[in-house]
A and B are shown apart, each in its own frame.
Chain A
């Protein structure tokens, strides 16, 4: 009965609204929607995504048009001086299109610059160079330098944190619960931190990308997706294995560290990270607790050493990837996506670790909001907050 009702006529019924839409669009395109205003100037929206200083005498801007219509870039003004420039592929930028603008200008190292784009309507869009320094080009040397920075701020602190494992194992059950609660606290800090960073980068995106809603949706979808995936992995078992939880924490923290790597790489490339050594030390301190978080669920188990190596690499390694991307090919759009996905992943592990904590508390017959657990939570947030003071990029 049902199959006979799904004949060719049924397909047509499904296409009917699309047909109607087609007719409507054709009518609007041919006749206009009656809302055209030839007398109003077009709304223009240019975003400078990146300013690179590849040599001592040029600025290279990557510009994106987020407005509804093509925009023609007519003049460039550098620090209140109209300046020569060349735009590739063209100085008329299509909707959602981008252009690379090269400005031959002999800049002064360490000084600040404001580069203003003036369009054919006289509208202006400004880009800042907070501190003019050479943007490191792609070379073997810079590649390793960034890898080293990423290792310092990601891999090493996570690995060092994991070294607390033998020490933590000898804590009593309330001590282990304290560490789990501390993990929840630090993850709570990380999710807020990641979301804030994602929002900040998203506001710099052209409006057409709907940056803020994109962050919220990506974070929510990642959370839901990972929750669904976790149920699949359990395959009927009552709970996920604790080792798998550790891996997911490592993944979430890894994505967060990728975001940190992006910020650090971009900051180094743009010359903002003047306090290089201080910054690296700060991040190392900041991230050392992350290793504890990764180790927390498996304190009652005894995984092999290889697992610890993988956990450290998964949690810290993405920082290396992040510094490379941030340093050589920074894009606000990909950064926003990475950060939003990272926030979702961390939210999911918060859920998972909290469940673990509730279960362990039930087993040891202590209240979930015991003094130890609350203390751990507060301490987790406090440690992250305090060490974050060292690393404002």
Chain B
């Protein structure tokens, strides 16, 4: 089935257009019977009391803002710890997490701000934070391992502007990333960007049975979360999505919007879009900014155009609402 049972149920009228084809009707009927669950979907619900992907979407961590000698200084606190997270309903994953959540908090700053990230390691393994951006060699989070119980302060200027990421860079590297030590790192240009409804989507996956391949895929950790809890946006309002691909094991990921095209800014480091498209491919560590407006109300799907990832959880819906912003 190309579309979900829910949709098939919702548009069963169209499906019956195959007049005389009893089989098609029968299949549509069978799908409708299960529309309360919906064929390609998880069974049950995730406990969102500890981490709610719907809240994470628009949650930006600006840090504690201060002025020191005329400069804006932002101080953030990140703690690495072990956390059992729920990647699909009833499926627990023993993650390593910044501040107990995967992805870690979305760090946000303005170009030129002085950033001070106080990192504490409360896990039993050594960890670091490696930021993508400009910084001194000893702030790179590669050689200065932070042991269990230790603390390290990363300090550098926020540049260049764009959509970046941070992650642990302890060896074995893949293990430290796949277990959840990553997050988005957004630096606004000095002049700012146009007003928009801003969302963060970190494309990730989880190797739940430790066979060096992902069993579950998602944006922001929970499989099918935004399919079951569509993201409400407003008709005609500018939507800006900061997309970061931190997927391990698979070389490529992708992002596809239905019934709409988006302006794409690779890595967010230029103010002019490079492309107007509806499908964008991302290598490991690749990221960018998507901007779009929906002209019509309704539910519109977005998902990885790698169908396998989509059907293993990387699928969601925008619920475009009418009315004022």
- Asked if residues B88 and A57 are in contact (CB atoms below 8 Å), the reply is no
Interchain CA distance A116-B214 in the complex, whole Å: 13
- Asked if residues A118 and B88 are in contact (CB atoms below 8 Å), the reply is yes
- Asked if residues B208 and A124 are in contact (CB atoms below 8 Å), the reply is yes
Q: Which residues of A sit under 8 angstroms from B93, Cβ to Cβ?
A: 122
Task: Give chain B nearest CB distance to A276 CB in angstroms.
Answer: 25
Choose the segment among A75-83, A170-178, A307-315, A357-365 that binds chain B (4+ C-beta atoms closer than 8 Å). A75-83
- Asked if residues A84 and B215 are in contact (CB atoms below 8 Å), the reply is no
* Contact A84/B1 with A75-B88, A121-B92 known, Cβ cut-off 8 Å: no
* Contact A74/B41 with A57-B27, A120-B92, A124-B208 known, Cβ cut-off 8 Å: no
Q: Which residues of A sit under 8 angstroms from B42, Cβ to Cβ?
A: 75, 82
**Complex: chain B residue closest to A122, CB-CB:** B208
The verdict on B89 contacting chain A, using a C-beta distance below 8 Å, is: yes
Mark A108-142 against chain B: 1 for CB-CB distance below 8 A, else 0.
00000000101111111000000000000000000
The verdict on A104 contacting chain B, using a C-beta distance below 8 Å, is: yes
- Asked if residues B223 and A106 are in contact (CB atoms below 8 Å), the reply is no
Task: Give chain B nearest CB distance to A108 CB in angstroms.
Answer: 11
Q: Which residues of A sit under 8 angstroms from B43, Cβ to Cβ?
A: 74-76, 84-86
Task: Give chain B nearest CB distance to A107 CB in angstroms.
Answer: 11
The verdict on B140 contacting chain A, using a C-beta distance below 8 Å, is: no
The verdict on B49 contacting chain A, using a C-beta distance below 8 Å, is: no
Choose the segment among B63-71, B107-115, B308-316 that binds chain A (4+ C-beta atoms closer than 8 Å). B308-316
The verdict on A105 contacting chain B, using a C-beta distance below 8 Å, is: yes
User: Interface size on B (CB < 8 Å)?
Assistant: 35
Among B26, B33, B91, which residue has its beta carbon within 8 angstroms of that of A120? B91
Q: Which residues of B sit under 8 angstroms from A83, Cβ to Cβ?
A: 39-41
Mark A62-78 against chain B: 1 for CB-CB distance below 8 A, else 0.
00000000001011110
Interchain CA distance A120-B44 in the complex, whole Å: 12
Interchain CA distance A120-B1 in the complex, whole Å: 27
- Asked if residues A84 and B312 are in contact (CB atoms below 8 Å), the reply is no
- Asked if residues B311 and A104 are in contact (CB atoms below 8 Å), the reply is no
Interchain CA distance A69-B296 in the complex, whole Å: 52
The verdict on B37 contacting chain A, using a C-beta distance below 8 Å, is: yes
**Complex: chain A residue closest to B206, CB-CB:** A122
Among B37, B88, B91, B223, which residue has its beta carbon within 8 angstroms of that of A84? B37
Q: Which residues of B sit under 8 angstroms from A57, Cβ to Cβ?
A: 26-27, 30
Q: Do most interface residues of chain B lie in helix, strand or loop, or is the interface mixed?
A: loop
Interchain CA distance A85-B88 in the complex, whole Å: 14
Q: Which residues of B sit under 8 angstroms from A81, Cβ to Cβ?
A: 40, 308, 311-312
Task: Give chain A nearest CB distance to B97 CB in angstroms.
Answer: 16
Interchain CA distance A84-B228 in the complex, whole Å: 13
* Contact A84/B39 with A57-B27, A74-B88, A118-B215 known, Cβ cut-off 8 Å: yes
Task: Give chain A nearest CB distance to B35 CB in angstroms.
Answer: 10
Task: Give chain B nearest CB distance to A193 CB in angstroms.
Answer: 35
- Asked if residues B209 and A84 are in contact (CB atoms below 8 Å), the reply is no
Interchain CA distance A124-B93 in the complex, whole Å: 13
Interface residues of B in 25-60 (CB under 8 A from A): 26-27, 30-31, 33-34, 37-44
**Complex: chain B residue closest to A72, CB-CB:** B90
The verdict on B288 contacting chain A, using a C-beta distance below 8 Å, is: no
Q: Which residues of B sit under 8 angstroms from A123, Cβ to Cβ?
A: 208-209
Interchain CA distance A123-B207 in the complex, whole Å: 10
Q: Which residues of A sit under 8 angstroms from B23, Cβ to Cβ?
A: 56
- Asked if residues B208 and A80 are in contact (CB atoms below 8 Å), the reply is no
Q: Which residues of A sit under 8 angstroms from B216, Cβ to Cβ?
A: 82, 122
Q: Which residues of B sit under 8 angstroms from A116, Cβ to Cβ?
A: 215
Among B1, B30, B92, B312, which residue has its beta carbon within 8 angstroms of that of A77? B312
- Asked if residues B39 and A104 are in contact (CB atoms below 8 Å), the reply is yes
Task: Give chain A nearest CB distance to B28 CB in angstroms.
Answer: 10
Q: Which residues of A sit under 8 angstroms from B30, Cβ to Cβ?
A: 57, 104, 106
The verdict on B266 contacting chain A, using a C-beta distance below 8 Å, is: no
**Complex: chain B residue closest to A118, CB-CB:** B91
Task: Give chain B nearest CB distance to A371 CB in angstroms.
Answer: 58
Q: Which residues of A sit under 8 angstroms from B226, Cβ to Cβ?
A: none
- Asked if residues B39 and A105 are in contact (CB atoms below 8 Å), the reply is yes
Interface residues of B in 199-234 (CB under 8 A from A): 206, 208-209, 215-216, 223-224
**Complex: chain A residue closest to B89, CB-CB:** A74
- Asked if residues B224 and A84 are in contact (CB atoms below 8 Å), the reply is no
Task: Give chain B nearest CB distance to A330 CB in angstroms.
Answer: 26
Interchain CA distance A46-B43 in the complex, whole Å: 19
**Complex: chain A residue closest to B310, CB-CB:** A81
Q: Which residues of A sit under 8 angstroms from B33, Cβ to Cβ?
A: 104
**Complex: chain A residue closest to B88, CB-CB:** A75
* Contact A84/B38 with A74-B44, A75-B89, A122-B215 known, Cβ cut-off 8 Å: yes
- Asked if residues A80 and B39 are in contact (CB atoms below 8 Å), the reply is no
Residues in chain B within 8 A of chain A (CB atoms):
1, 5, 23, 26-27, 30-31, 33-34, 37-44, 87-93, 206, 208-209, 215-216, 223-224, 308, 311-313
For this complex, 24 residue pairs linking A to B, each with C-beta atoms less than 8 Å apart, are A57-B27, A74-B43, A74-B91, A75-B42, A75-B88, A75-B90, A81-B308, A82-B41, A82-B223, A82-B224, A82-B313, A83-B40, A84-B5, A85-B43, A104-B33, A106-B31, A118-B88, A118-B208, A120-B90, A121-B92, A121-B208, A122-B215, A122-B216, A123-B209
Pairs of residues from A and B, 9 with the lowest C-beta to C-beta distance, nearest first: A122-B208, A74-B90, A81-B311, A84-B37, A57-B30, A124-B209, A74-B91, A80-B308, A104-B34
Residues in chain A within 8 A of chain B (CB atoms):
56-57, 72, 74-77, 80-86, 104-106, 116, 118-124
Contacts A74-B44, A104-B34, A122-B215 supplied; 18 other A-B pairs, CB < 8 Å: A72-B90, A74-B91, A81-B308, A81-B312, A82-B41, A84-B39, A104-B30, A104-B39, A105-B39, A106-B30, A106-B31, A118-B88, A119-B91, A120-B91, A120-B92, A121-B208, A122-B91, A123-B209
